[in-house]
Structure 1
């Protein structure tokens, strides 16, 4: 792309697309189609009856039938499931934001002598499979009488997701100029005030990124929830949908409506925060 200045002073842009650009753009369109087409099929089939889906799953609905959503929401108990999912997700997000910000700041500023050990520990923790902790977790929950406690499950999910947010926030703190912290200390700020009043506002895009990543994982989490949340009144929306899938395994209209109900909240949240999320991931990926 080149720019040329016209006689009237305006800038004329001449776009010259190379073959590699065109090929890359076509591949991106292809990948977008592959990713979005299944979601599109789920959406259009959620408005159709079971017989219409079997007749032609690729056809558009003749009418927007919202009865599927009403029936699925009421019979599947999604109102209760959404409340439990919000409790689990919000607990995990709050804990991850606070813990990752604090630990990321400590590791970035090397406030402790064993910072290398802690860094290595969190790095190794990202490679350990969750299944290794299920038996001791379940035993601990039984002994502490926490089976079915949605907030306790939120804490466990937060702990499991903590290593990656810590490294992300550490990268953000490494990029903050040391002169800002030194100036704040000269003005009389202690470590807590420097952290809360100076550092956190600067790394706020990273906190939003952490919230989105942890929120998406927590909302869709299945293994921990199905193991530690016993009793249908404690089920999250994911477990409610799983029960729905078992009960209506041959009623595709109900399954499709339930899938849309599950997906829409996360899509809406991501669309609202996508700009901050992308900026946060791009900035956090650059090592300071």
Structure 2
């Protein structure tokens, strides 16, 4: 009895030590960025792990000004919001059609989505850029959100389809008997039930779109259409790459993401766990 209890305590100690190690490995670099954001370039070069001689907001003021984060955050919110709305609308309809036996020969469509997840977006950059240039859609956030949504669609459809498969078919049949059409069944009956999946998809799509660089740098030209990420990267080379200013810019970019994820992490994790039960 005593030996078993001792082994359990030792095992818990090892598990907690491993978890603490991985937590520090994840949180440590972020804390180091925040710490160095208050230091001068010289202080960072001498010792990046030391405390700043003086806590000053000068780096943040400079980064906000030259990184044009006011415009960048506005553009990032527009791009991210539009992408999430497009993905939620299209993925909900596609997942509903592909779940159950609502559609004949769903296997080829599912295989198509699986293959689409493996195709790199770089293959479509040149034709898409040519098309956008001819249509005058370069630097158009709303047009770019369509490309972003198409890139996120396969994974979103698979995740939401999993939730639709878990909804009892009797519920849909009862709604039909009450006279509800397909549109009403999807948005008034199904959507409230699969809301955890929609939150999970929103978080995944939102974080991916917010941090996206390749497509943004290709299709957004001119500082007026720059996202927050492009604004941050424009700081590279400022005052010969002042590391203090770069760290302040990184902190400005990180904080909204951390706050957003902390607010929705409970729903995000619930959605991932529930969606992993049945495929």
Give the TM-score, by structure 1 length. 0.91
**Equivalent pair of 1:248/1:254 in contact (CA under 8 Å):** no
Classify 1:178/1:16 alpha carbon distance in 2 versus 1 (closer, same or farther; 3 Å): farther
Which residue of 148, 168, 172 corresponds with 1:181? 172
Matching residue of 1:262: 253
Post-superposition Cα deviations, 1:86-116, rounded to whole Å, max 9, x if no partner, equal 1111111111111111111110133222322
Question: Does 2:191 align with 1:200?
Answer: yes
Shift of 1:20: 4.0
Shift of 1:51: 2.2
Give the distance between the partners of 2:7 and 2:168, measured in 1 at CA.
39
Matching residue of 2:41: 50
Post-superposition Cα deviations, 1:168-221, rounded to whole Å, max 9, x if no partner, equal 000000011111111111111111111111100000010000000000000000
Give the distance between the partners of 1:262 and 1:160, measured in 2 at CA.
23
Give the distance between the partners of 2:212 and 2:55, measured in 1 at CA.
31
Classify 1:249/1:263 alpha carbon distance in 2 versus 1 (closer, same or farther; 3 Å): farther
Post-superposition Cα deviations, 1:244-282, rounded to whole Å, max 9, x if no partner, equal 123345311100000001111111100000000000011
Question: Does 2:17 align with 1:26?
Answer: yes
Question: Does 2:257 align with 1:271?
Answer: no
Question: Does 2:86 align with 1:103?
Answer: no
Shift of 1:33: 1.0
Shift of 1:15: 11
Give the distance between the partners of 1:118 and 1:36, measured in 2 at CA.
41
Matching residue of 1:126: 117
**Equivalent pair of 2:148/2:209 in contact (CA under 8 Å):** yes
Shift of 1:223: 0.6
Q: Secondary structure at the match of 1:65?
A: coil
**Equivalent pair of 2:32/2:49 in contact (CA under 8 Å):** yes
Task: Give unpaired runs (5+ residues) of structure 1.
Answer: 1-13
Which residue of 233, 236, 258 corresponds with 1:242? 233
Which residue of 157, 161, 177 corresponds with 2:152? 161
Give the distance between the partners of 2:207 and 2:278, measured in 1 at CA.
25
Matching residue of 1:41: 32
Question: Does 2:231 align with 1:231?
Answer: no
Q: Secondary structure at the match of 1:25?
A: helix
**19-28 or 182-191: bigger deviation:** 19-28
Q: Quote the RMSD (CA, aligned, Å).
A: 1.7
Q: Secondary structure at the match of 2:236?
A: helix
Matching residue of 1:6: none
Which residue of 67, 70, 77 corresponds with 2:68? 77
Classify 1:149/1:21 alpha carbon distance in 2 versus 1 (closer, same or farther; 3 Å): same
Give the distance between the partners of 1:132 and 1:252, measured in 2 at CA.
35
Give the distance between the partners of 2:127 and 2:141, measured in 1 at CA.
18
Post-superposition Cα deviations, 1:59-106, rounded to whole Å, max 9, x if no partner, equal 122443112111210121111111111111111111111111111111
Aligned residues: 275
Post-superposition Cα deviations, 1:119-143, rounded to whole Å, max 9, x if no partner, equal 1100110011111111111111111
Shift of 1:19: 4.1
Matching residue of 1:3: none
**194-203 or 57-66: bigger deviation:** 57-66
Task: Give unpaired runs (5+ residues) of structure 2.
Answer: none
Shift of 1:28: 1.6
Give the distance between the partners of 1:255 and 1:150, measured in 2 at CA.
26
Give the distance between the partners of 2:179 and 2:137, measured in 1 at CA.
45
